[in-house]
Amino acid sequence: MRVRRLSLIASLVLAAFATTTQQAAAQGGNKQAINPPNARPGGVLSSAVRVGDLVFLSGALGTKPGGGGLADGGIEGQTRQALENVKASAALAGVTMADIAKCSVFLTDVANFQAMNGVYKEFFPTEPPARTTVGVAGLVVPGALIEIECIAAAKK
């Protein structure tokens, strides 16, 4: 039953994305890159991209702001910091954690799933977004244990 419900949610998110993308194309495109004021010019990614009513948030690692390295505290600390980084990107794009409809979580060790879930619940205590969690061989920052990317539905 749960798989069917998650499959339905994923289908709805994809349908909303397709509809929004088609609307954007019909309007001559309304893709808007969103970056913090201190973003490097000519960077290879945007912190977030808004297309119509959807906001796509780039993957967030558990890195401290200002280049302070990875958060202390293992998977719990990195998960908390990654979600704080998601929250900051969301705010920059004009959405909140409550607006997030879908998250993808990448773990370098699936044994960290339960510990990650404990912290994740703090940020999404009610009506959590649809989520995919996968194990990966590694992330681009050495020692990073988690990366989280999200899609939010912006208010009109």
* CATH number of the CATH domain containing 50: 3.30.1330.40
Q: Would you say residue 4 has pLDDT above 70? A: no
pLDDT given for residue 75 in this prediction: 98
Q: How far apart, in whole angstroms, are the C-alpha atoms of residue 100 and residue 30?
A: 20
Per-residue pLDDT, averaged over 5-33, amounts to 53
Q: In this predicted structure, what is the pLDDT of residue 26? A: 44
Residue with the larger pLDDT of the pair 8 and 64: 64
| DSSP conformational letter for 70 | B
State the residue range of the domain holding 106: 2-153
DSSP secondary-structure letter at 3? H
Of the candidates 58, 119, 121, 125, the one whose C-alpha atom is nearest the C-alpha of residue 85 is: 58
Choose the weakest-confidence range: 19-23, 52-56, 72-76: 19-23
Where does the pLDDT of residue 39 fall: very low under 50, low under 70, confident under 90, or very high at 90 and above? confident
Q: What is the rounded CA–CA span in Å between residue 72 and residue 56? A: 27
How many domains is the chain partitioned into structurally?
1
Given the structure tokens 């690692």, which residue do they identify? 61
What's the token pair of residue 12? 């709805």
CA–CA separation, 47 vs 58, rounded Å? Answer: 5
Judging by beta carbons within 10 Å of its beta carbon (0-12, 13-18, 19+), is residue 14 exposed, middle or buried? Answer: exposed
Q: In what order do the strands lie in the sheet with 48-51?
A: 31-34, 48-51, 54-61, 146-153, 100-107, 130-135
Residue 85: closest CA among 107, 101, 102, 66 = 66
* Confidence band, pLDDT 50/70/90 cuts, at residue 73: very high
Residue 31 has pLDDT above 60, yes or no: yes
Q: Which position has the token pair 């912190």?
A: 47
